[in-house]
């Protein structure tokens, strides 16, 4: 209930602030099953738009454990289905927690395989979680303002969803298998970006680069 309530409030706020969001190919999203929604991480609010466009599906998130030290922020994170991750020393819970949620709840997972907003290196965690939880990997991209102030300028926001990425033919999640999955995921991102805007090129803000 809390997730749905907050999502409704955020939808209204973003409509007032920006009011220029476009969600494309939502038909590609699985309807009756959980899945992992993956995207290149370009700004701190891209998961918000991704979750809004995939409504009414509810999601869980990974968040760096430092955010949970603030009791107020911790309350909201926990009730918004976020769970802490130690980025420097990720333990077994990084995989076990999302796998359990994907298996035993009605919540899907939003995940950024690159980890950070300015990294292009894809990680293997999504593949392992997908295989253990027996759920699909669905690609998604965000194109829009990277600075919060630009949202107020009503610059357009685009979120495009893609068809699930097929990895069932990859038998082993070894170095070669993960490299092939990385290629397929990156190709899916590139295709979605091109479908929105053939001339699009992601350029991190100076703050992100620093």
Q: Does 210 score more than 50 pLDDT?
A: no
Q: With contact defined as beta carbons under 8 Å apart, do 58 and 106 qualify?
A: yes
Q: 10 Å Cβ neighbour count for 167?
A: 18
- Interval 168-177: pLDDT, tens: 899 899 989 9
| Whole-number Å distance between alpha carbons of 81 and 182 | 27
What residues have CB less than 8 Å from 185, skipping those under 6 apart?
38, 113, 122, 126, 137, 139, 165
- Model confidence band, residue 141 (pLDDT cutoffs 50, 70, 90): very high
Q: Which residues pair with 140 in a beta bridge?
A: 161
Global pTM value: 0.88
- Interval 84-131: pLDDT, tens: 887 777 667 788 889 999 999 999 999 988 755 555 555 678 899 999
Joined together, the tokens standing for residue 120 give 């292009």
- Interval 1-50: pLDDT, tens: 788 899 999 999 999 999 999 999 999 999 999 999 999 999 989 999 99
């Amino acid at each position: 209930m809390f997730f749905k309530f907050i999502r409704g409030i955020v939808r209204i706020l973003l409509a007032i602030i920006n009011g220029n969001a476009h969600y494309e190919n939502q038909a590609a999203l699985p309807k009756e099953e959980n899945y992992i929604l993956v995207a290149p991480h370009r700004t701190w609010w891209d998961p918000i738009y991704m979750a809004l466009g995939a409504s009414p599906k509810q999601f869980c998130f990974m968040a760096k454990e430092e955010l949970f030290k603030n009791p107020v922020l911790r309350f909201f994170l926990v009730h918004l289905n976020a769970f802490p991750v130690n980025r420097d020393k990720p333990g077994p819970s990084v995989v076990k927690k999302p796998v359990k949620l994907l298996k035993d709840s009605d919540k899907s997972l939003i995940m950024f395989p690159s980890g950070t907003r300015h990294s292009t290196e894809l990680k293997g965690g999504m593949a392992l979680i997908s295989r253990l939880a027996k759920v699909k990997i669905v690609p998604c991209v965000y194109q829009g303002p990277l600075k919060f102030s630009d949202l107020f300028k009503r610059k357009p926001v685009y979120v495009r969803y893609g068809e699930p990425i097929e990895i069932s033919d990859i038998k082993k999640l070894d170095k070669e298998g993960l490299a092939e999955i990385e290629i397929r995921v990156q190709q899916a991102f590139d295709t979605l970006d091109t479908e929105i805007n053939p001339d699009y090129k992601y350029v991190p803000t100076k703050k992100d680069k620093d």
